[in-house]
Amino acid sequence: MLETVELRKVYKGKIAVQEVSLYLDQGESVGLIGPNGAGKSTTISMISSLLKPTSGDVRLHGKSVIQQPQAIRKVLGVVPQEIALYEELTAYENLKFFGRVYGLKGKELEQKIQELLEMVGLRDRQKELIKTYSGGMKRRINIVAALLHEPQIVIMDEPTVGIDPQSRNHILETVRLLNRVQGTTVLYTSHYMEEVEQLCQRMYIMDHGQIIAAGTREELQHILAGEDTIIIQLSHKEFGLTQELESFESIRQVEETEQGLKLIVIKNSPIMSRIVQAAERHHVQILNIHVQSPSLEDVFLHLTGRTLRD
């Protein structure tokens, strides 16, 4: 339905996006994951024809849309990363304004506004000024603004960053409803792997302007089929121990996490006793140790050597 072909953007000699080729089939929900500065927003701006690519193409039903941005604007709804609303107007007035921009009016627009406000759980707050809204509520209104013209494809750029859990739940529920009930095609961008796992059938992982992996959850996890994840809870942090573990051949990655030290090790390697001995040498007690199958976060760590929220 929608695809990018070797999309590239260079800002004053600095490459922001390089040769990004991705596609969305009708009715799919697809995730786009990557750390800060990976090039997600730049890619989205080029898809939505707000930004001209340095090279490459964006195609809707096989036809290039770079020369005719109108075609894509009609079928696409974009929820930008930055909130774009008028602070001095009420939520309702904002939506009325954006509806008119799309050429909607009268009863039809009124009905759509009420239906969508209901969907994001803000119908009873619509007469209040945007400047009195919380960040999460603004985000929800921003989403409604992108849905007024009933787009067939919706792109959301990190809609849940830095907001309260209640707004987050409303947003996730809205995405689910749009995709699973209404059949809208969704491209969902996030730093949160667990959101993408819940919402998307397929995902692209982006880093340094490139797509470094793509596929379903199972396909991506297969990248780590030969590895185990070991989580060790320690009495205290000890840099020397981390360093020593990093030097073991069968340990691919060592990372400090909230649950403890996370090791990605070659599957079935006889490493436990060596870990215990190393801890003893550094006078660190092991409080707990367990092996788990790798998560998508681990796949990301494996591919980039970094966590998503570095």
Ligand X SMILES: Nc1ncnc2c1ncn2[C@@H]1O[C@H](COP(=O)(O)OP(=O)(O)OP(=O)(O)O)[C@@H](O)[C@H]1O
Q: Rank residues 157 and 244 by Cβ distance to ligand X and give the closer one.
A: 157
Q: Which does 226 bind (CB under 5 to 8 A by kind): ligand X, Mg ion, none?
A: none
Stretch that binds Mg ion, among 26-34, 67-75, 81-89, 237-245 (CB under 5 A): 81-89
Q: Rank residues 44 and 264 by Cβ distance to Mg ion and give the closer one.
A: 44
CB 261 within 8 A of CB 205: no
CB 130 within 8 A of CB 86: yes
CB 271 within 8 A of CB 237: no
Measured CA to CA in angstroms, residue 294 lies from 71, 130, 275 at distances of 42, 43, 19
Q: Which does 34 bind (CB under 5 to 8 A by kind): ligand X, Mg ion, none?
A: ligand X
Query: What is the x/- site pattern for ligand X, positions 146-165, by CB under 6 A?
Result: --------------------
CB 51 within 8 A of CB 63: no
**Residue 43 found at the interface with Mg ion (CB under 5 A):** no
**Residue 41 found at the interface with Mg ion (CB under 5 A):** yes
Query: What is the x/- site pattern for ligand X, positions 18-47, by CB under 6 A?
Result: ----------------x-xxxxxxx-----
Q: Rank residues 207 and 244 by Cβ distance to ligand X and give the closer one.
A: 207
Q: Among the residues of the chain, which ranges form H helices? A: 40-47, 69-75, 91-101, 106-120, 135-147, 165-176, 193-199, 217-222, 239-247, 272-281, 296-304
**Residue 214 found at the interface with ligand X (CB under 6 A):** no
CB 190 within 8 A of CB 33: yes
Count of positions on this chain that bind ligand X (CB under 6 A)? 11
Count of positions on this chain that bind Mg ion (CB under 5 A)? 3
- CB 84 → ligand X: shortest distance, Å? 15
Q: Rank residues 82 and 249 by Cβ distance to ligand X and give the closer one.
A: 82
- CB 289 → Mg ion: shortest distance, Å? 37
Torsion angle in degrees (nearest 10) through CA of 60, 63, 67, 71: -40
Q: Which two tokens stand for residue 261?
A: 């030290």
Q: Which does 33 bind (CB under 5 to 8 A by kind): Mg ion, ligand X, none?
A: none
- CB 42 → Mg ion: shortest distance, Å? 8
- Which residue among 7, 16, 75, 137 contacts ligand X (CB under 6 A)? 16
User: 106-120 vs 91-101: helix axis angle to the nearest 10?
Assistant: 130
Count Cα neighbours of 67 within 13 Å in the Cβ-side half-sphere: 2
Task: Provide the CA 65 distance to its chain's centre, in angstroms.
Answer: 24
CB 233 within 8 A of CB 259: yes
**Residue 81 found at the interface with ligand X (CB under 6 A):** yes
Stretch that binds Mg ion, among 34-42, 69-77, 105-113, 265-273 (CB under 5 A): 34-42
Neighbouring residues of 10: CB distance < 8 A, sequence distance ≥ 6: 16, 54
Sites of contact with Mg ion (CB under 5 A): 40-41, 81
Sites of contact with ligand X (CB under 6 A): 11, 16, 34, 36-42, 81
